[in-house]
Structure 1
């Protein structure tokens, strides 16, 4: 009788622990595990910093779409300014440049540009003898100017398509009435151009910079070689069970997406699903770039840094159509784990109510095609509390909140040493993660993190300690984590490099489903069993 009782108690405790372990696992992954993933960044959505060589052949490459420039008259020694930031005349009247004196380029060709003011209006000039104003919302012929440079230097001329050069004779206006062809000496048609920033190197900049034919050739080569079936073999050999694949909204229009985007990303995504199925890896499709840009960054394929996605219902409707396309195409694919509705919407640019409404509609669209695919919603970047997504009632089943944890991109981390970075992971990150794990509602996903920081003199052991701390903490996320990114020109961002060089260490066999909380529970149950054994 005593023996049977012991067997019954042990079976009960073991079954209870097993159910608890499965409850913390992700549906669709083998071995009751959670996501241990890697992002395939820079592949189907271009980010120039990941592979800078993609932009090496662009002529006039420091004047891509979104480049911010300022112009100073060499004769007046004043800066060109859009009064009030746009909506009125362009003058040549400022001693010190600021926002009104800064213009964003829309590149038409190697030498043709449209110039956008702070408030969004474009330079325009009707005909010879006219003055220039910044009053047009949609650029056309009258808003397109040639910019000629002296041997790629800072000295420039600006002329209309008719061939007439602009000049600054007085501070009150910039006029199209220079007679003849100006030289490069100090004359009223010559300006000094300062490039304030040239930070955008995405799909838009690549396509316009090269032109369609050349860009198509470059992207075809990139898509076929940057990520291959061999990479999925490598991931499967090193304990990775999922990939998060950034895609752009234009993928829904393949093979002939709207200009200037280049077709071919859909075929590459199909390949990824085939490779994933072969190696028992799951796929998370991540809508990284939405029409109009949700954050103004190159990875959202912004043209000039503007956040125009939430300002147009048409943009939102197009984005929902993309989610419908992706869900209908991949819902029945055995490799699909989930769909992320939008990557990194900007807290400053995307109002919470618009984002939540979009997430709720996106959830319903995915559920039309799948009752089990995870619907992933990304936290807004900037000054936003992730709890706002837990209070939103986005959907009832398999909803995941994606947090991006970087010890970068914020002055808070600039002066931290290696030990302070590690302490921050164990104290601040772990505390927030535990709070979110305990909150009712969605699961938690650390969808982007990296073994890099602002520490300039970190040793290999420092990096290993930092990586271990992140793995220790992020392994507790109820959905799992995904490293950013598989391949990168910057070695510490490169997952493959980190693994091969032993900067990140974790075993293939250790299951992320068996987390510390599970182990603690099992130990408690085991002790309870031993206690019962002693008293019986």
Structure 2
């Protein structure tokens, strides 16, 4: 396939509260698991159906293709097949997405984004502050069964690019510094949480690969997240005889800014130079994609909501976009997070920093182009 230029369709089949907080109205739930626990089943089904029916449409696939992108990455939950109550399944929406993608000449990367017990303790893992999925063999086997059923269902679908085995299994260093660590709503439930060891991850990835390859021809990619350990994979995949595999890494300027006291273009250039070296080193062994990134940054953000600084704002976002794209274009491709936050694109965000995460608005504002 040509170099990937795509966008994520996050918050559609896997909820993230910060992206659409109004779905959580009437509860103080911070993640999808607690939303399901707090709402009566009928109300949960009603909200989820309304959201899934309206959040992404065929029109969005046409719009994505019109901007020169060639792929969508679709995060899916472990309960996608509807066999883990109280959650309602959503496989029919993925069916629809593959059909729309084929119609508009887009490829689809299916991404298993959550597992029961969570692989990272983030809200995007479904359960904030809890990270102990890998310790539960029954749930590990269940995750593999979900991957197998997805592969069997879509193996002959022309629009399928591949399947990503698991999103963001967390490393020791990231787990120790993550803001969600230690923030579980139920401290008893969180007991035993910790980072996902490299030894487990390698074993899980190898088994997942062989399960997927039972159904997927070698024209379909098997994608592995680096587990926030881009430099530690070396020739692992090649040594294991894996073919058409891709390593996914997620790089955010916005996250880097949490550890740096100043926000300026030269800082971002330095950060990108460091990342470029790491990406090049990893790319010697396996094709690498930047599966999540965005142009959100505090330098450009300071010009937002100031009519007199509109041009400065546009220029700052465009420069940050170009700095990143220059590096990403030296890899096998990149996928923006996220296509949109609010479905209503005219509705102002509750917090100004969200603007740079919404690709639809960034394109409309002329902050980025592909």
Structure 1 length-normalised TM: 0.58
Please tell me whether the aligned partners of residues 283 and 337 of structure 1 are also in contact (alpha carbons under 8 angstroms).
yes
For residue 204 of structure 1, report the CA deviation from its aligned partner: 1.1
What RMSD in Å do the two structures reach over aligned CA positions? 1.7
Separation of aligned partners in 1, 2:111 and 2:226: 13
CA pair 313-380 structure 1, distance change in 2 beyond 3 A? same
Separation of aligned partners in 2, 1:421 and 1:390: 32
Equivalent residue, structure 2, for 1:434: 280
Equivalent residue, structure 2, for 1:482: 335
Please tell me whether the aligned partners of residues 389 and 401 of structure 1 are also in contact (alpha carbons under 8 angstroms).
no
Q: What is the aligned length? A: 325
For residue 379 of structure 1, report the CA deviation from its aligned partner: 1.2
Unaligned runs of 5+ in 2: 173-194, 304-312, 343-353
2:255 aligns to what SS in structure 1? coil
Separation of aligned partners in 1, 2:138 and 2:241: 24
1:305 aligns with 2:139: no
1:386 aligns to what SS in structure 2? helix
1:285 to 97, 110, 116: 110
Equivalent residue, structure 2, for 1:295: 120
Separation of aligned partners in 1, 2:67 and 2:214: 35
For residue 336 of structure 1, report the CA deviation from its aligned partner: 0.3
Equivalent residue, structure 1, for 2:369: 505
1:231 aligns with 2:60: yes
Separation of aligned partners in 1, 2:241 and 2:291: 19
2:251 to 385, 388, 405: 405
For residue 424 of structure 1, report the CA deviation from its aligned partner: 2.5
Equivalent residue, structure 2, for 1:446: 290
Equivalent residue, structure 2, for 1:260: 86
1:388 aligns with 2:233: yes
Equivalent residue, structure 2, for 1:355: 201
Separation of aligned partners in 2, 1:291 and 1:386: 28
Structure with higher strand content: 1
Equivalent residue, structure 1, for 2:223: 376
Equivalent residue, structure 2, for 1:336: 160
Separation of aligned partners in 1, 2:143 and 2:14: 16
Greater CA deviation, 357-366 or 457-466?
457-466
1:503 aligns to what SS in structure 2? coil
2:357 to 487, 493, 508: 493
Please tell me whether the aligned partners of residues 418 and 462 of structure 1 are also in contact (alpha carbons under 8 angstroms).
no
Larger Rg over CA atoms:
1
Structure with higher helix content: 2
Unaligned runs of 5+ in 1: 1-25, 27-32, 65-199, 507-536
Greater CA deviation, 401-410 or 337-346?
401-410
1:409 aligns to what SS in structure 2? helix
For residue 425 of structure 1, report the CA deviation from its aligned partner: 4.6
Please tell me whether the aligned partners of residues 363 and 394 of structure 1 are also in contact (alpha carbons under 8 angstroms).
no
For residue 244 of structure 1, report the CA deviation from its aligned partner: 0.3
Structure 2 length-normalised TM: 0.84
For residue 389 of structure 1, report the CA deviation from its aligned partner: 5.6
For residue 394 of structure 1, report the CA deviation from its aligned partner: 4.8
